[in-house]
Amino acid sequence: MTIKRLIQTRWEITPEQVTVYPYGAIYIMCVITSIVCIVWVLLVVNAFNDTSTNVISVLWPITVLYLLMIIFFGLFGRTTIIFNRNNRVMYKLLFGFWRTTTLPFDEISGIILMRSARGTFRYNVVPKNSKWWNTSTVISSAVMNENSAHALDFQEHVLAALDKYLHLKSKHSSLSYRKK
């Protein structure tokens, strides 16, 4: 799998549900943290040039911290958004198993395209009772251009399937995507 493919949003569409994996870029942070950890351990071991207790007392706390960061990034990259058609509910599974958000389809106001201060775009699910945009749930990784090939694939496949699930076909729908 290429780095570009890893960063992009991945999805699986079945008749029962749409599953979206929006945090693939976190895996890059996991790899970078792993490399930094390995380099740090090698530098400390070479700096002391022996296996005295001083090396171990300096080495293990920060190594444990790096390992915890690697585990956290690896698990966070597995965060999943599931739109279950049978139950008519959207779930956000933090780390791929811990349910943090449960939002019935009837309480979803829409799916909007949000632009960040860095100029990137991402799609968010906004609940009806939300007064602020920051309470929305991210369902796509950031893209530099809303007309990029991956963004158009996301619109064509995922957003079209969600449009059928959520029934947001009204004239003033919040589902903001363009069909080809």
Q: Which pLDDT belongs to residue 8?
A: 85
Q: Which pLDDT belongs to residue 13?
A: 92
Please report which confidence band the pLDDT of residue 180 belongs to, taking 50, 70 and 90 as the band edges.
very low
Please report which confidence band the pLDDT of residue 20 belongs to, taking 50, 70 and 90 as the band edges.
very high
Give yes or no for residue 177 having a pLDDT over 50.
Answer: no
Contact of 85 with 15, CB cutoff 8 Å: yes
| Residue whose C-alpha is closest to residue 12's, from 163, 161, 175, 171 | 161
- Over residues 142-152, the mean pLDDT reads 82
Q: Which pLDDT belongs to residue 52?
A: 60
Contact of 167 with 108, CB cutoff 8 Å: no
- Over residues 1-27, the mean pLDDT reads 86
pLDDT tens, position by position, 68-124: 989 998 899 899 999 999 999 999 999 989 999 899 988 888 888 888 777 788 888
Percent of the chain with pLDDT over 90: 21
- Over residues 162-177, the mean pLDDT reads 58
| Residue whose C-alpha is closest to residue 33's, from 70, 79, 75 | 70
pLDDT mean across residues, the chain = 81
pLDDT tens, position by position, 34-64: 898 888 888 877 777 665 666 667 777 888 8
